[in-house]
Structure 1
Amino acid sequence: MEILENAALVRRLLDVMENDILPLTETGVAEGNKVFGGALLRKSDLSLVMAQTNNETENPLWHGEVHLLKCFYEHPVSKQASTKDMIFLSTHEPCTMCMSAIAWAGFDNFFYFFSHEDSRDSFAIPHDLKMLKEVFGLEPGGYNHDNAFWKSRGLFEILATLPDAQAQPLLDQAKRIRDRYAALSEAYQSSKDDNAIPLN
């Protein structure tokens, strides 16, 4: 099923970030975890299948996306829903491990709000870009956003294609979401030395 990259999609993905992922992330950050999270939605009606957040204090591999997949496959819903029929939403552009996990799980897409550069510049978490550069020799944005496994899109790429009347309320909501994440980032940064996450 084709995913229509339009205002209705962006509105729904922003709503899921604001109402479903962010509350989980607020709890996660209070426990010492990073600000990353994700959600799965049905392509057919954009209904939420599951939302999750980073849980690296339990296991450094439980990035927001991988922890979401772990929880999905531990839940009965995974027996009833095919990943090919779902949208993968990531709050932040996935790292190389998470991109690979999304492919291995059979998703043909992912959408993200914050870019790798945002993670580095706004969240003081440069590991995604450093991994791309050091391990794969890729500059920012250097991976194939459309490939044999999935197609990826930043929400702001879609917003840039919309008429102003459709885009403005979504940009207002995006600003509200950015502000909440900025506060969470500050909380994480102020306490990260107290956790045992290897790449904090």
Structure 2
Amino acid sequence: MAIEENAALARALLDAIETDVLPLTERGVAEGNKVFGGALLRKSDLSLIVAETNRETENPLWHGEVNLLKTFYEGPVSKLEPTKDMIFLSTHEPCSMCMSAITWAGFDNFFYFFSHEDSRDSFAIPHDLKILKEVFGLEPGGYRHDNAFWRGRGIFDIIAGLDPAEAEPLLAQSERIRCRYAALSETYQQGKVANAIPLA
């Protein structure tokens, strides 16, 4: 099933971040985890299936996306609905491990709010870009966003293609989300020396 990249999709993705992911991430950051999270939505009606957040203080592999998949596969929906019928939403552009997890789980898409450059510049978490450069020799944006497995897109790429009347409320919502993440990032950075995350 194709995903129509329109205002309704952008609104559903932003709503999932603001309503479902952020409350989980606020609790996660209070426990020392990073600000990353994600959600799964149905392609058919854009309804939420599950949301999760980063749990690296429990296991350094429990990035927001991987922990989301862990939670999904531990629940009943994974036995009833195929991932090809779902939208994968990540608050931040997935790292190479999370891209691989998305691929192995059979998703044909992912959408993200913050870019790798945002993670580096606004969140002081440069590891995604460092790993892509050091391990794979890729510059920022150098991986193939369209490939045989999936199509990866930023939410702002969708918004940029909308009419101004459709884009304006989405941009206002995006700014609210950015402000909440900025506060969470400050909390995380202030406390990260006390946690046990290898790449903090």
Name the TM-score class by shorter chain. over 0.9
Q: Per the alignment, in what secondary structure is the counterpart of residue 57 of structure 2?
A: coil
Whole-Å separation in 1 of the counterparts to 2:9 and 2:137: 33
What residue in structure 2 maps to residue 46 of structure 1? 46
Whole-Å separation in 2 of the counterparts to 1:118 and 1:99: 17
Q: Please list, as runs of the form range in 1=range in 2, the aligned pairs for 1:4-153 lying within 5 A after superposition.
A: 4-153=4-153
Whole-Å separation in 2 of the counterparts to 1:11 and 1:76: 27
Cα deviation, 1:22-72, whole Å, max 9, x if unaligned, reads 000000000000000000000000110000000000000000000000111
Whole-Å separation in 2 of the counterparts to 1:100 and 1:29: 25
Amino acid at match of 1:138: L
Q: Please list, as runs of the form range in 1=range in 2, the aligned pairs for 1:184-195 lying within 5 A after superposition.
A: 184-195=184-195
**C-alpha RMSD of matched pairs (Å):** 0.4
Q: Per the alignment, in what secondary structure is the counterpart of residue 153 of structure 2?
A: strand
Whole-Å separation in 2 of the counterparts to 1:146 and 1:38: 20
Structure 1 residue 81, shift from structure 2 partner: 1.1
Please tell me whether residue 166 in structure 1 is matched to residue 176 in structure 2.
Answer: no
What residue in structure 2 maps to residue 182 of structure 1? 182
Amino acid at match of 2:29: V
Whole-Å separation in 1 of the counterparts to 2:114 and 2:77: 28
Whole-Å separation in 2 of the counterparts to 1:58 and 1:125: 19
Structure 1 residue 190, shift from structure 2 partner: 0.2
Q: Per the alignment, in what secondary structure is the counterpart of residue 51 of structure 1?
A: strand
Whole-Å separation in 2 of the counterparts to 1:132 and 1:115: 14
Whole-Å separation in 2 of the counterparts to 1:70 and 1:20: 17
Amino acid at match of 1:81: E
Whole-Å separation in 1 of the counterparts to 2:44 and 2:162: 22
Runs of 4+ residues over 2 Å off in structure 1: none
Structure 1 residue 11, shift from structure 2 partner: 0.5
Whole-Å separation in 2 of the counterparts to 1:186 and 1:37: 17
Structure 1 residue 77, shift from structure 2 partner: 1.3
Q: Per the alignment, in what secondary structure is the counterpart of residue 56 of structure 1?
A: coil
Structure 1 residue 168, shift from structure 2 partner: 0.6
What are structure 1's unaligned runs of at least 5 residues? Answer: none
- The total of aligned residue pairs comes to 200
TM (norm. structure 1) is 1.00
Q: Per the alignment, in what secondary structure is the counterpart of residue 9 of structure 1?
A: helix
What are structure 2's unaligned runs of at least 5 residues? Answer: none
Structure 1 residue 2, shift from structure 2 partner: 0.6
Q: Per the alignment, in what secondary structure is the counterpart of residue 119 of structure 2?
A: helix
Structure 1 residue 180, shift from structure 2 partner: 0.1
